[in-house]
Amino acid sequence: MTEYRPRRSALYMPGANDKALEKAKTLPTDAIIFDTEDSVSPDMKAVARDKVAAAVASGEYGSRELTIRVNSIQTEWFEADVRSAAAAGPAGVVVPKIDSAADVARVESLLESAGAPDSTMIWAMLETPTAIENAVQIATASERLTVLIMGTNDLAKELRAALVPGRHPLLWGLARCVNAARFADKVILDGVYNDVRNPEGFGLEALQGAEMGFDGKTLVHPTQVEPANDAFGPSEDEIEYSRRVIEAFDEGLAAGKGVVTVDGKMIENLHVDNARRALAIDAAIRSLADS
């Protein structure tokens, strides 16, 4: 399997807020998205651009994966944002409202002309009906594009759909994008949960996202970080079961058995692959925590 980088939690932090930028250094989030878009007023865009570039270059965020969300292609700030991000060299540049492979190509061209290091990847936000229809083309548009992010608030607005518990109006689109990510072998992150005063609701939505196949979830509040890490990481029971599956399968092969069972259930190659993936994820999480 592809080397796993934990992205169970990706926390948006407002780029013009010094207190938030400082707080992010202490949070157990896998990734930080320093934001210059929705959380920043027009008169503070240039200030936020400089602050997030300095944060990325500071070396003060430990092993957290650092990304910068720029303003969308349609805005007056886009090119300056991308050039600044390219110079800062974050792990990823998060680009809102990517609608096509041509949009990805434009971002990639601008990053390369601005001298972005090869390690700076594109994280594309899918948040319009056009993006959902073009999800496969977007996901396969560039090797520099490694992560897809669902923009569920904007998607619901564009669809004129309600944001309701269970998200049934959006499930078709979410599933389509998960499929595109798996087709292209990309990471995909679920959208945000808005009600920070409802931890039970967040927990249910995070579990839903994990069950659908998302790799992690984007977050709007520090209190959501640890529940997201729990939802998108293997549990102790899953880790223990995975070890038993692999052990039983290996013993069965050595003994020439045609059928192997664990807890009364038949084990096939796909179960072994899932078990190995769970252990690899656990190892990567532990390695990140120790670094």
Q: What is the DSSP string of 177-242?
A: HHHHHHHHT-EEEE-----TT-HHHHHHHHHHHHHHT-SEEEESSGGGHHHHHHHHS--HHHHHHH
Statement to judge: residues 78 and 219 lie in one domain: yes
| pLDDT one-digit tens code per residue, 93-150 | 999 999 999 999 999 999 999 999 999 999 999 999 999 999 999 999 999 999 999 9
User: 92: which 2 tokens?
Assistant: 């990823």
Query: How deeply is 133 buried, as exposed, middle or buried, from its count of CB atoms within 10 A (0-12, 13-18, 19+)?
Result: middle
Average pLDDT over residues 258-265: 86
Statement to judge: residues 156 and 263 lie in one domain: no
Q: Does residue 216 sit within a domain?
A: yes
| pLDDT one-digit tens code per residue, 58-72 | 999 999 999 999 999
Statement to judge: residues 98 and 41 lie in one domain: yes
Residue 2 — very low, low, confident or very high, per pLDDT cuts 50/70/90?
Answer: low
User: 138: which 2 tokens?
Assistant: 């977007």
| pLDDT one-digit tens code per residue, 162-172 | 999 999 999 99
The pLDDT score that the predictor gives to residue 194 is: 97
Q: Does residue 1 sit within a domain?
A: no
Domain-terminating residue out of 186, 210, 232? 232
The pLDDT score that the predictor gives to residue 257 is: 80
| pLDDT one-digit tens code per residue, 182-220 | 999 999 999 999 999 999 999 999 999 999 999 999 999
Statement to judge: residues 276 and 151 lie in one domain: no
The pLDDT score that the predictor gives to residue 291 is: 65
Average pLDDT over residues 259-270: 88
Structural domain count, the chain: 2
Report the CATH number that the domain containing residue 207 is assigned in CATH: 3.20.20.60
Statement to judge: residues 179 and 53 lie in one domain: yes
Residue 1 — very low, low, confident or very high, per pLDDT cuts 50/70/90?
Answer: very low
Statement to judge: residues 201 and 253 lie in one domain: no
Domain-terminating residue out of 214, 232, 250? 232
Statement to judge: residues 120 and 252 lie in one domain: no
Statement to judge: residues 162 and 259 lie in one domain: no
Average pLDDT over residues 51-55: 97
Statement to judge: residues 165 and 273 lie in one domain: no
Q: Does residue 31 sit within a domain?
A: yes
Side-chain half-sphere CA neighbours of 49 within 13 A = 18
Question: Higher-confidence residue: 171 or 259?
Answer: 171
* DSSP structure string for the chain: -PPP---SEEEEEETT-HHHHHHGGG---SEEEEESSTTS-GGGHHHHHHHHHHHHHT--STT-EEEEEPPPTTSTTHHHHHHHHHHH--SEEEES---SHHHHHHHHHHHHHTT--TT-EEEEEE-SHHHHHTHHHHHTS-TTEEEEEE-HHHHHHHHT----TT-TTTHHHHHHHHHHHHHHT-EEEE-----TT-HHHHHHHHHHHHHHT-SEEEESSGGGHHHHHHHHS--HHHHHHHHHHHHHHHHHHHTT-S-EEETTEEE-HHHHHHHHHHHHHHHHHHHHHH-
Statement to judge: residues 18 and 141 lie in one domain: yes
**How far is residue 251's CA from residue 257's CA, in Å, rounded to a whole number?**
9
- The answer on pLDDT for 56 being more than 90 is yes
**How far is residue 267's CA from residue 248's CA, in Å, rounded to a whole number?**
9
Q: Is the pTM of this model over 0.75?
A: yes
The pLDDT score that the predictor gives to residue 160 is: 98
Domain-terminating residue out of 198, 215, 232? 232
Question: Higher-confidence residue: 261 or 179?
Answer: 179
Residue numbers of the domain that contains 177: 9-232
Nearest alpha-carbon partner for 82 in 36, 41, 44? 36
- The answer on pLDDT for 156 being more than 90 is yes
Statement to judge: residues 163 and 242 lie in one domain: no
Statement to judge: residues 42 and 106 lie in one domain: yes
Q: Does residue 30 sit within a domain?
A: yes
Q: Does residue 4 sit within a domain?
A: no
Tell me the pLDDT of the chain averaged across its residues. 95
Q: Does residue 2 sit within a domain?
A: no
- The answer on pLDDT for 268 being more than 90 is no
Q: Does residue 81 sit within a domain?
A: yes
